[in-house]
Amino acid sequence: MSREIYVMIHAIITHSRVNGPGVRSVVYFQGCDLGCAGCWNPATHAFVGAERSIDDVATQILGVVGIDGVTFSGGEPMQQASALFALISILKARRPDLSIGMHSGYTERELNASAIWRAVCEHLDFAVLGRFVAAKPSSLPLRTSANQILRLFSGRYREEDFQPQECEVQITQEGLVQITGFPLAGSPA
């Protein structure tokens, strides 16, 4: 009998064009204790909220029509690394063509000490790594502070495949307003 794996999820946006190349679903993990001042997603910091099974999350993502990939953000996905790896493994097993990207506030140096990070990397096409530092604004694609790096793990993308920073505002049929993307420093979100 297998043990169900659960993950705390803040939100899932089914279609986005500003969180990596192509049309992507975005999975926002719930929980982060890195404490980056001025973080764009402070509602994702507390380690509280509904847990969902990774099978449920995978089924939802795999049911989305017309996506090229999935981007994991947060919160901090690597603070639930085992669940992240299990979720990515399910997605890639069922849809090997799906592009996988991630945002992490950890630096590559911090992550390299982790065996689970090395396993996650085997499935990633790209990751943005490093803490948000408000005093170091950046206009580079997917990076809101200049200390962050865009790391390419597969041959699927090149730097020029990533679009300039933009934000999206989506309103669901239920009236929920979701804002995603990367506001340029000094611009209204």
Domain boundaries, the chain: 6-181
6-181: in CATH 3.90.1150.10 = no
- Confidence class for position 1, pLDDT limits 50, 70, 90: very low
- Provide the whole-model pTM: 0.90
List, in order, residues 6 or more apart from 77 with CB less than 8 Å away.
29, 84, 102, 103, 104
- Confidence class for position 165, pLDDT limits 50, 70, 90: confident
Q: What is the mean pLDDT of residues 95-116?
A: 96
Query: Rounded to whole angstroms, how far apart are CA atoms 174 and 74?
Result: 23
CA atoms within 13 A on the CB side of 63: 8
Retrieve residue 79's tokens. 């603070």
